[in-house]
């Protein structure tokens, strides 16, 4: 989401480090799911810059924070403000936020996604708040499709799903997508 908002603001796509967030956010449990709202709060309060993925690449495991060694070599982007909302039973407001503000980060239940190959997820994905275990970005939606759906960008790389994307039906808080929705302003 930070990448998307940076691209919207500056007209350039610049990949920022997910691994930095996994390793460096105090007490966030890294790859065990984390908490988007706590992460954004920490980034804002600590004025920590999110640096390039090229400098701090994804390893897909919890590790020691290497930020102090790397931040001297590169600059990044800072969070200037953020929101953290619940849109349970109000997904029309989530759609409006996507249309007027841009991409958002959401906490989801991704347990059933391990074998996702494509199509629209529309059943059998628990949406309870206690089942949230992963963060993804909603980058858009398609309400004119046979099954209206959100377009989600996952962090598992381009070999996952549809070139790194997946689709979830709108309207039922499937996989918990409406429980914890965050948007950011970057500087």
The two three-digit tokens of residue 126, written as one number: 């628990």
130 is catalytic: no
Choosing from 28, 109, 149, 154, the catalytic residue is: 154
Q: Which residues contact 95 (CB under 8 A, 6 or more apart)?
A: 141, 143, 170
Choosing from 109, 134, 173, 179, the catalytic residue is: 134
Contacts 24+ apart (CB under 8 A), 111-118: 112/175, 113/154, 113/161, 113/166, 113/175, 116/160, 116/161, 116/166, 117/161, 118/161, 118/162, 118/166
The two three-digit tokens of residue 63, written as one number: 């590790």
134 is catalytic: yes
> Which residues are known to be catalytic?
134, 154
């Amino acid at each position: 989401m930070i990448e998307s908002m940076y691209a919207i603001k500056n007209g350039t796509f610049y990949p920022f480090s997910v691994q930095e967030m996994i390793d460096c956010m105090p007490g966030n449990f890294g790859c065990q799911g984390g908490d988007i709202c706590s992460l954004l709060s920490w980034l804002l309060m600590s004025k920590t810059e999110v640096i390039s993925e090229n400098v701090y690449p994804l390893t897909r495991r919890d590790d020691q924070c290497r930020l102090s060694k790397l931040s001297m070599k590169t600059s990044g982007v800072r969070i200037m403000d953020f929101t953290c909302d619940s849109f349970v039973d109000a997904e029309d407001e989530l759609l409006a936020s996507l249309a007027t503000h841009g991409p958002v980060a959401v906490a989801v239940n991704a347990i059933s996604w391990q074998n996702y190959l494509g199509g629209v997820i529309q059943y059998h994905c628990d949406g309870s708040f206690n089942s949230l275990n992963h963060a993804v970005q909603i980058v858009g939606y398609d309400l004119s499709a046979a099954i209206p759906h959100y377009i989600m960008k996952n962090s598992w790389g381009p070999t996952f799903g549809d070139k790194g994307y997946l689709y979830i039906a709108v309207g039922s808080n499937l996989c918990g997508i409406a429980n914890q929705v965050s948007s950011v302003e970057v500087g």
